[in-house]
Structure 1
Amino acid sequence: MAGHWQDLSQGQRRMIVGLAVAETAFKAVMLIDLKRRQASEVRGPKWLWASTALVNSAGLLPAAYFLFGRVK
């Protein structure tokens, strides 16, 4: 059950903020890498990978890009 921000402990708030910062940084690194690569170096359309940055994925979609979306 979802609670309110005020109901969380200081440690829980810090963890949520830290995870949000980490996910944002991971998505930024993904988008920078995607911008620098040629389309031939990416599996699938670049626009589709870029659009995944709009989805809250707990870092799974950027990880999928780095594992499967790039042609080595």
Structure 2
Amino acid sequence: MTTKSTGRKSRKWRDLTDRQKTLTLVMGSIQLSLAATAWADLAKRPPDQVNGPKLVWSAVIAINFFGPLLYFIKGIRR
């Protein structure tokens, strides 16, 4: 099976090696943990301790690894 835009074969879970599956699961777990921690912090933190609107930060946190890390670096007023 190839994709129209890239011409590359799409990969299925069963096509991955055990190492690739493990890496995918580990990275996914880390990403979900970061996001859950950031959302919990955002929910508990008063608005005056957040740089910008909390609604915007809640959406930013959903962006892979970068969102939660950006929130912890730039979103929290110190």
Unpaired runs of at least 5, structure 2 = 1-7
The Cα RMSD (Å) is 1.2
Match of 1:60 in 2: 66
Could you tell me the TM-score, scaled by structure 1's length? 0.88
- How many angstroms apart in 1 are the aligned matches of 2:55 and 2:28? 23
Displacement after TM superposition at 1:51 (Å): 1.7
Give the share of equivalent positions with the same residue, in percent. Answer: 24
Task: Compare CA radii of gyration and give the structure with the larger one.
Answer: 2
**Is 1:9 equivalent to 2:17 in the alignment?**
yes
- How many angstroms apart in 1 are the aligned matches of 2:73 and 2:62? 19
Structure 1 segments (4+ residues) deviating >2 Å: 52-55
**Is 1:25 equivalent to 2:64 in the alignment?**
no
- Which structure: greater helix fraction? 1
**Is 1:49 equivalent to 2:57 in the alignment?**
yes
Could you tell me the TM-score, scaled by structure 2's length? 0.82
